[in-house]
Amino acid sequence: MLSESYWMHTAPARSFPTLERDLSTDVAIIGGGIAGLCTAWELARAGVQVTVLEADRIAAGVTGYTTAKLTALHSLLYSGLGPADARLHATAQWDAIEHVATTALQLGIDCDFERVPAFTYTETGEHLDAVRKEAEAAAAAGLDAQFVTTTGLPFPVAGAVRVDNQAQFHPRRYLLGLADAIVKAGGTIYENTRMESISKTISGYSVSAGEVVIATNYPIVNRPNLFPRLVPHREFVVAGVIANADDPQGMYITPENNTRSVRTAPYDADHRLLIVTGEHFAPGTAGTRERLDALTTWAQDRFRVKDIAFRWAAQDPQTTDRLPFTGRLSDHLWVATGFGGWGMTNGVMSGKLLAGAITGEPQPWASLYDPQRFHPTREVGRLLKTTAAVAGHYVGDRLHSSPVPAVSELAPGTAAILRHNGTKCAAFRDDDGTVHLVSATCTHMGCVVGFNDVERTWECPCHGSRFGIDGEVLQGPALHPLKQVDQTE
Ligand SMILES: Cc1cc2nc3c(=O)[nH]c(=O)nc-3n(C[C@H](O)[C@H](O)[C@H](O)COP(=O)(O)OP(=O)(O)OC[C@H]3O[C@@H](n4cnc5c(N)ncnc54)[C@H](O)[C@@H]3O)c2cc1C
Ligand code: FES
């Protein structure tokens, strides 16, 4: 099983009220992760009346389970963007890092902000050409980037892009500090307030706002055709204590081995916490235990980590052209999503971009992230692949691969998708023998869910909704639980 993340463990939650009346506000921000809170802060400090509506607790969604590198180097990206877009992206990301540094200083937020270099490396040489090209493209885009063959990693690499003066921080300490500042500046935050639509809470209270920002990680509306262009990727994170002397002194990522991403965080006077992320997969696909084991073994073999102190998982959607969708969806409706694993800088960037657009001070890179854009050459291949995959998940072919034909044959601790009384069911028998039976049809748009055997959750591969074994919603875009099924034969 997994634990809570290191960030959740070391930054106790603030408490905000639940919305229990109709509300009217200038700007309503749906979602209190990094994108929502940064947007709220930028608006509140500009004197705008702003209200954050969070389904659960703030800074406890994907943002509470991230790796929290603040870098403009996003694995291998710049070489595929073209010079003008690459320059805009580099400038926007660099601006976000500096903005966190300045804001933390101005507001007196102690968030373990540390300046470190960022590396994208190839160990086997498989990506050597790509790494060289990325170093050139990143440097041409204006980053302090170079191709190197030595790093601080305790194993040799064939080559790496190195970008200096990047940063890492404690995301919850930063954002909980920002939440205090939002309230001090006159903003309002509601927790445990899930929005069913952009103008109504799930408990039936109406929210009327001049502007609405959707910052729910995966958007709750499908305009302009967002869903087919957003693919969720889930990943594992493991963290263990290492001696200060074993700190690799930087942030690292490689696309090899199904991605390995490494950083450290302050732990105590003699130790750092090594944090390793990787083994991404589509939510609801099989093999999660093997993925977590592979990541754990890699961390222990490559670094001198004796015990893994924290294990967690999270997911983030990626767009078909690998740049965020941040901007206007329609009149008075805005979105920030599709960060593709780089939402620390992009969440901050989104806050500045959306607040600027709403207050009439647009950012120079607004058109780059416009959610209405479409680049046929960059996007069509990925779009077709996503559409085909989603179509397959509606069909529910897992029924044919179900390991057992009936609930009575499920062993303790196992799950299956099977037919029961004519209904396609998601069945799980817990360690005590109790059967948990719910409909296998996702309440978002009807795909068939799959079981994550590490987290013991039902997950939807189409848009990433996640449900508990009794069907409760753990993560959207689904708003309603999986339907209960009568267990009698
Ligand atoms: C394993 C992993 C490691 C990562 N590492 C890095 C990294 O090192 N650097 C980096 O830059 N990025 C990283 N990322 C990406 C980054 O963490 C995310 O992009 C970012 O946290 C997303 O922020 P968010 O505000 O969009 O989403 P969230 O933090 O999930 O916030 C969205 C909020 O909306 C709420 N919500 C959802 N539906 C509703 C509703 N209907 N009504 C009201 N509220 C709702 C949710 O409860 C949630 O609190 C990583 C991602 C993963 C998965
Ligand atoms: S169908 Fe969209 S998340 Fe399940």
Give the residue whose CA is nearest to atom 1 of ligand 2. 445
Q: How far apart are CA 136 and CA 147, in angstroms?
A: 8
Domain boundary among the residues 290, 316, 342 is at 316
Tokens at residue 398, please? Answer: 């897992």
- Predicted local confidence at residue 404, as pLDDT: 67
| CA 227 – ligand 2 centroid, Å | 9
310 and 402 co-located in one domain: no
Can you give the CATH number for the domain in which 426 is found?
2.102.10.10
- Predicted local confidence at residue 223, as pLDDT: 81
The reply to whether the predicted model has a pTM over 0.75 is: yes
Residue 453, domain member (yes or no):
yes
Continuous H helices in 323-426: 343-359, 376-395
How much is the average pLDDT of 236-257?
97
Residue 283, domain member (yes or no):
yes
Residues 6+ apart with CB under 8 A from 408: none
For the CA of 477, the closest atom of ligand 1 is: 38
421 and 279 co-located in one domain: no
| CA 393 – ligand 2 centroid, Å | 9
Minimum-distance ligand to the CA of 466?
A: 2
Residue 86, domain member (yes or no):
no
**CB 463 less than 6 A from any atom of ligand 2:** yes
Question: What domain range is 290 assigned to?
Answer: 115-165+231-316
- Predicted local confidence at residue 393, as pLDDT: 66
Each residue's pLDDT tens digit, 295-348: 999 999 999 898 999 999 999 999 999 999 999 999 999 999 999 999 999 999
Each residue's pLDDT tens digit, 22-62: 999 999 999 999 999 999 999 999 999 999 999 999 999 99
- Predicted local confidence at residue 126, as pLDDT: 87
Domain boundary among the residues 316, 346, 380 is at 316
The amino acid at residue 56 is D
- Predicted local confidence at residue 225, as pLDDT: 85
Residues 6+ apart with CB under 8 A from 321: 373, 375, 378, 379, 382
**CB 338 less than 6 A from any atom of ligand 1:** no
For the CA of 227, the closest atom of ligand 2 is: 2
Residue 278, domain member (yes or no):
yes
For the CA of 339, the closest atom of ligand 1 is: 19
Q: Taking each helix axis as running N to C, give the angle between helix 83-107 and helix 343-359, from 0 to 180 degrees, rounded to the nearest 10.
A: 90
Each residue's pLDDT tens digit, 390-440: 666 665 544 445 556 788 899 999 999 999 888 899 999 999 999 999 999
Residue 70, domain member (yes or no):
no
Number of domains in the chain: 2
Can you give the CATH number for the domain in which 240 is found?
3.30.9.10
249 and 144 co-located in one domain: yes
The model's confidence at residue 162, banded by pLDDT at 50, 70 and 90, is very high
How much is the average pLDDT of 134-155?
98
Minimum-distance ligand to the CA of 97?
A: 1
What sign does the dihedral 283-232-293-313 (CA atoms) show? negative
- Predicted local confidence at residue 304, as pLDDT: 85
145 and 250 co-located in one domain: yes
Residue 84, domain member (yes or no):
no
| CA 64 – ligand 2 centroid, Å | 23
The pick from 226, 444, 467, 480 for probing ligand 2's pocket by mutation, whose C-beta has the most ligand atoms within 8 angstroms, reads: 444
- Predicted local confidence at residue 421, as pLDDT: 85
Residues 6+ apart with CB under 8 A from 269: none
Domain boundary among the residues 316, 332, 347 is at 316
301 and 430 co-located in one domain: no
The model's confidence at residue 9, banded by pLDDT at 50, 70 and 90, is very high
Residue 409, domain member (yes or no):
yes
How much is the average pLDDT of 79-108?
98
For the CA of 56, the closest atom of ligand 1 is: 47
| CA 216 – ligand 2 centroid, Å | 15
- Predicted local confidence at residue 400, as pLDDT: 45
120 and 263 co-located in one domain: yes
309 and 411 co-located in one domain: no
pLDDT at 142 over 70: yes
148 and 293 co-located in one domain: yes
Residue 19, domain member (yes or no):
no
Each residue's pLDDT tens digit, 168-225: 999 999 999 999 999 999 999 999 999 999 999 999 999 999 999 999 999 999 887 8
256 and 138 co-located in one domain: yes
Residues 6+ apart with CB under 8 A from 67: 237, 261, 263, 275, 277
The pick from 234, 462, 467, 482 for probing ligand 2's pocket by mutation, whose C-beta has the most ligand atoms within 8 angstroms, reads: 462
222 phi, psi to nearest 5 deg: -105, 50
Least confident of 148-152, 165-169, 384-388, 485-489: 384-388
Q: List 119's β-bridge partners, or say none.
A: 162, 252
What length does the chain have?
A: 489
- Predicted local confidence at residue 172, as pLDDT: 98
**CB 474 less than 6 A from any atom of ligand 2:** no
pLDDT at 276 over 50: yes
| CA 239 – ligand 2 centroid, Å | 31
For the CA of 442, the closest atom of ligand 2 is: 4
| CA 231 – ligand 2 centroid, Å | 11
| CA 408 – ligand 1 centroid, Å | 39
Give the residue whose CA is nearest to atom 21 of ligand 1. 63
249 and 139 co-located in one domain: yes
- Predicted local confidence at residue 378, as pLDDT: 72
